Amino acid sequence: MDAAVKPIADPAAVTEFVVRWKGNAGSERANFQSFMRDLCGLLDLPLPDPGKGENAHNAYVYELRIPANVTGHYGDRDRSAHRSLAGSGFVS
């Protein structure tokens, strides 16, 4: 017996979400948090928590804090972090 598969989200709401975001010309950084807020709402998921000073308390946040010595080269931390995340969908 095949049980009917219940959609994760209302099909009309999915269509509205796609129309809102398809072809958006804004930058990824400018739109990321708004997109995630809309996506969480669509899927009835909790919103990410506000970030805390210690990463141990940041299990579900928009961005993790990168300590100054993460690369061992204090002056390169931003570029190194960007390189390590490039292509992951988190930074462009």
The reported pLDDT for the residue numbered 25 is: 85
On whether residue 13 sits in a domain, the answer given is: yes
On whether residue 76 sits in a domain, the answer given is: yes
On whether residue 19 sits in a domain, the answer given is: yes
On whether residue 79 sits in a domain, the answer given is: yes
What gap in Å lies between CA 84 and CA 65, rounded to an integer?
Answer: 14
On whether residue 2 sits in a domain, the answer given is: no
The answer to whether residue 48 scores a pLDDT higher than 90 is no
Domain count, the chain: 2
* 3 state DSSP class of 43: coil
On whether residue 58 sits in a domain, the answer given is: no
Assign 3-state DSSP to the chain and report helix, strand, coil percentages, each to 5. 45, 0, 55
Domain that holds residue 71: 66-92
On whether residue 78 sits in a domain, the answer given is: yes
Q: For residues 88 and 12, which has the higher predicted lDDT (pLDDT)?
A: 12
The answer to whether residue 92 scores a pLDDT higher than 50 is no
The answer to whether residue 39 scores a pLDDT higher than 80 is yes
pLDDT tens by residue, 1-24? 456 888 889 999 999 999 999 988
22-26, 62-66, 83-87: lowest mean pLDDT where? Answer: 83-87
Q: Based on the domain organization, do 42 and 72 belong to the same domain?
A: no
On whether residue 28 sits in a domain, the answer given is: yes
Burial of 62 from C-beta contacts in 10 A (0-12 / 13-18 / 19+): middle
The reported pLDDT for the residue numbered 76 is: 45
